[in-house]
Structure 1
Amino acid sequence: MKRKNYSIEIDASAAHVFETMLGKTTYKQWTAEFNPTSDFEGHWELGEKISFIGYNKEGEKEGMLGKIAAYTPNKHISIQYIGLIHQNTEITEGPMVEEWVGLFENYTLTENDGVTTVAIEVDVNAEFENYFDSTWPKALQRLKELCE
């Protein structure tokens, strides 16, 4: 496991970026870089379970299952992964999820003179490092376009 960092500066307030980042419609737009059917189910609140999903070619739900470990509106969100979603089923134990359970994805927003820096820290398994290095910058650029 490796912790990767990605960031972007957005010419908008932290409140606007936060709302755009987490809003149901706009979330789907900027995370489409990861999966064209990207979505979430759940609530962005401390302690809540949240599912990050997409659909495979058979129409089955696939994705990650997380818990909101920290939540400060307009400033910070930390997600701890607790399992996977595979073929419409939540999986929280066993060999399929061992490499994912306990990993974190953190979002920190810092506003200075109307410009917000979005900093992402994500724990990555080696097999996904190149994918994230390619996809996160595109997703953040899309978020920037939606916000500005």
Structure 2
Amino acid sequence: MERQQFKIEINAPAAKVYNTMLGEETYKKWTAVFMPSSYYEGSWEKGQKILFIAVGKDGKREGMMGVIEENIPDKYVSIKYTGIVDGDKEITEGSLVGDWIGAYEIYSFEEQDGKTTLIIDVDVLDEYKEYFEKTYPKALEKLKEISE
């Protein structure tokens, strides 16, 4: 597993970027770049469980399960992955999830003069490295578009 970092400057205050990034409806818009049916279930509050879901071609729910380790509004969000979602099952152990357990995704918002630099640090399995390198920048461009 490797930690990758992605950055983008957005011409909007950190509060606007934060709320657009995590808002239920706007989250769907920027994460559609990864999977058109992306959404989340749960809460962004510290200590709460959150599921990042998409509906696969077969109509089955799939995705990642995590815990919000930290959420400082407009500044910082840390997600620790604890398992996967497979249909109606939340799987937290076994060969399907082994490498994802304990992986992190971290969002940092740095505002200066009304502009926000958004920094994403994400742990990525080797087989997804190239996909993330191509897709995450496109998703952040979409976030920038809907935040400005």
Please state which band the TM-score falls in when normalised by the shorter chain. over 0.9
Map Cα deviations across residues 9-45 of structure 1 (whole Å, 9 max, x no partner): 0000000000000111100000001100000000110
SS in 2 for 1:141: helix
Question: TM-score with structure 1 length normalisation?
Answer: 0.99
Aligned pairs for 1:16-31 within 5 A:
16-31=16-31
Tell me which residue corresponds to 1:5: 5
Partner residue in 1 for 2:69: 69
Does structure 1 residue 15 correspond to structure 2 residue 9?
A: no
Q: Which runs of 5+ in 1 are unaligned?
A: none
Task: Give how far 1:88 is off.
Answer: 2.5
SS of 2:141's equivalent in the other structure is helix
Name the Cα RMSD after superposition: 0.5
2:140 and 2:57 map into 1 onto residues whose CA distance is 26
* Structure 1 segments of 4+ aligned residues over 3 angstroms from their partners: none
Distance in 1, Cα, partners of 2:132 & 2:63: 15
How many pairs are equivalent?
A: 148
The answer as to 2:81 corresponding to 1:81 is yes
2:84 is the counterpart of 1:46: no
3-state DSSP of counterpart to 1:15 = helix
Q: Note the residue ranges of structure 2 that are not aligned, 5 or more in a row.
A: none
Amino acid at match of 2:51: S
Per-residue deviation at 1:87? Answer: 2.4
Report the equivalent of 2:97: 97
Deviations 1:51-106 (A, max 9, x none): 00000112111000000011100000000000000123110011110010000000
Residues in 2 aligned to 1:147 and 1:87: alpha-carbon distance in whole angstroms: 32
How much does 1:49 deviate? 0.2
Give the AA of the match of 1:85: V
Matched letter for residue 47 of structure 1:
G
TM-score by structure 2 length? 0.99
SS for the counterpart of 2:144 is helix
Match of 2:37 in 1: 37
What residue is the counterpart of 2:121 in the other structure?
121
**SS of alignment partner, residue 144 of structure 1:** helix
